[in-house]
Amino acid sequence: MTEDTPRPATPVVAAQNERLKDELPFHDTQDFEDAARGFIASLDPCVITAEDGRVVWDNDSYSFLTGDAPDTVNPSLWRISTLNAMQGLFEVVPGVYQVRGFDLSNISFVEGETGVIVIDPLISTQTAAAAMSIYREHRGDRPVRAVIYTHSHVDHFGGVRGIVSQEDIDSGAVEIIAPEGFTGHAVSENVFAGTAMARRAGYMYGAALPRGPRGQVGAGLAQTTSLGEVTIIPPTLEVTRTGEEHVVDGLRIVFQLAPGSEAPAEMHFHFPDLRALCIAENATHVLHNLLTLRGAVVRDPHAWAGYLTEAIDLFGSDTDVVFSPHHWPTWGQDRVVEFLRQQSDLYAYLHDQTLRMLNQGMTGTEIAEAIRMPPALDSAWHTRGYYGSVSHNVKAIYQRYMGWYDGNPAHLWQHPPVEAGKRYVDFMGGADAVVDKARGSFEAGDFRWAAEVLSHVVFAEPDHAPARELLADTLEQLGYGSENGTWRSVYLSGAYELRNGSFGTPTQTASPDLLSQLTPTQLFDSLAIRVDGPRAWDERLTIDVVLTDRDETHRLWLRNGVLSQSSAPQHDSAELVLRLRLPILLTMVVRGIDAVDLDEAGVELEGDIGVLGRLLAVLDQPDPDFAIVTP
């Protein structure tokens, strides 16, 4: 592998980025005024560490974001990154405060009669604690009376134990409020496909990349993810219907459920007495993801647009400010309504136009190239594709309705990447010939084609050094030209790993605290996902797991390579019976059976002890370091 030395921008990319300075409305500086409004104080230095001294957040690493964009960064992305790097405590309206620039998300503080309501406590306990500290330094040592999670993504709950303790919850001093179904979605998303999602998130957010004009400059939605401790405390109150109203520490809050929008469990809420609306993550200053590049279930843009229209109907006439757990607020009743209408129109247009062209026989890739946005949306900064993009969102909508198959029989049963790569390279005259031709495409500025053919060479011959080097250079140029922060990070991450090897998974979201919230059913489902089917084809076994602290019995069967479960009464005896408490079972599954002294933990085993070893023998361990740009 070659040394990681980022290259300069090619003339093609430099010219493309220069043209954008004239094509986009850089004269409109309203966002800079809004992002600075209400500033109280910043953290200096804005570097947050764990107890062991490890840096979990370094906003100062973005201090290079000043002046005009260099030719290695799309000027539009440079602009949003400059805005996102503004950090500190801000007043939204009297009684509502935000700390921005301490993590991927914002944390908000709403002052009640006796204390404070905290909204979305970031990813990590360390960043949440730092935000709580700067708030209290300038607003007083108000006790936390409630925590509200707007939705079930980790950057909106992971730092909760940095601001409240389990004792606060158990005593009733603090209430945790979330939308219906929150815990199940929060846990399952980070466990079932969590290893793959977290690895790909390392590419998406560029958390392991060097910062700088030739490195990571921001993710569009914010700068990047923090690298601290992820925790969770389940809600004590779940909101189950739109229009539900609660009084929390003397403040009236009216809730609007928005399930299946940006997250499967999400909600907006309005403070009537403050004329302030928290719109969760459904209206930020970007075009959001309908299918995040880290992987997830495709989101519903039709429902998303509908929830924003409903929010206008419910709260528009009584709102003077709308704020979100990302970016900066929008003030003024007319501006609030226009902002929400444009955001609603954005998702509705993508949905409707994709369906229109889909029904004309176009594929997702074709629609993504053909679609054109309305001028009013294309020229609004808050609808730009900094995080989601028109291109990958259109493909997601196509996938939502039509699946992966585009209808062309030639695409029904294609070779996997390695075998396809070998055949492409052979047809094109061998690896050296392909690299020579790709170098011509690179020099002509056709980076998309160069990346495609060079990837075939790398998958056909992983050790072909010229192919790896030129592919890294090509991905780098694609990154330099990307307006989308996550696209830039994905491209530059690919280039980095081709040159330096894998950086692994920087942020592990499936933390012990999160895993401890698995229900028994979810826990056994997570085991079933790890069964190596072919290795288990001929294995037959039954285990009863008796959870003594829950008075529950779960029967597990392994047959035909499938681990099934049931909590219904059984009429036969299992080969093995385990009697134990749920926390011990969680430890055995998460950390491994060897991590638990079974006798000391009070685990009782009856029957054939060897059955447990037979089950463990067919379980695979997920790989948090799997290859992405190489086979």
Summarize pLDDT for 357-387 with one digit per residue, the tens: 999 999 999 999 999 999 999 999 999 999 9
The pLDDT of 386-407, averaged and rounded, is 97
pLDDT in tens, 318-360: 999 999 999 999 999 999 999 999 999 999 999 999 999 999 9
135 within 8 A of 100, measured Cβ to Cβ: no
| pLDDT higher than threshold 70 for residue 1 | no
Ordered strands of the 541-547 beta sheet: 562-566, 552-559, 541-547, 576-580, 604-607
Note the pTM of the prediction, 2 decimals: 0.93
Q: Is the pLDDT of residue 127 over 50?
A: yes
Report helix, strand or coil for 556: strand
The strand pairing partners of 553, in sequence order, are: 546
In DSSP terms, 176 is beta-bridged to 147
Measured CA to CA, the distance from residue 317 to residue 131 in angstroms comes to: 32
pLDDT over 90 (residue 35): yes
Question: Strand locations in 560-603, DSSP E?
Answer: 562-566, 576-580
pLDDT in tens, 289-324: 999 999 999 999 999 999 999 999 999 999 999 999
Band (pLDDT 50/70/90 cuts) for residue 2 is very low
pLDDT at 491: 98
Does residue 161 register a pLDDT over 80? yes
Residue showing tokens 């075009």? 287
Q: Can you read off the two tokens belonging to residue 143?
A: 């006790």
- Strand blocks (E) in 229-290: 237-239, 245-248, 251-257, 267-271, 276-278
Query: Which helix or strand (DSSP H or E) is residue 304 part of?
Result: helix 301-315
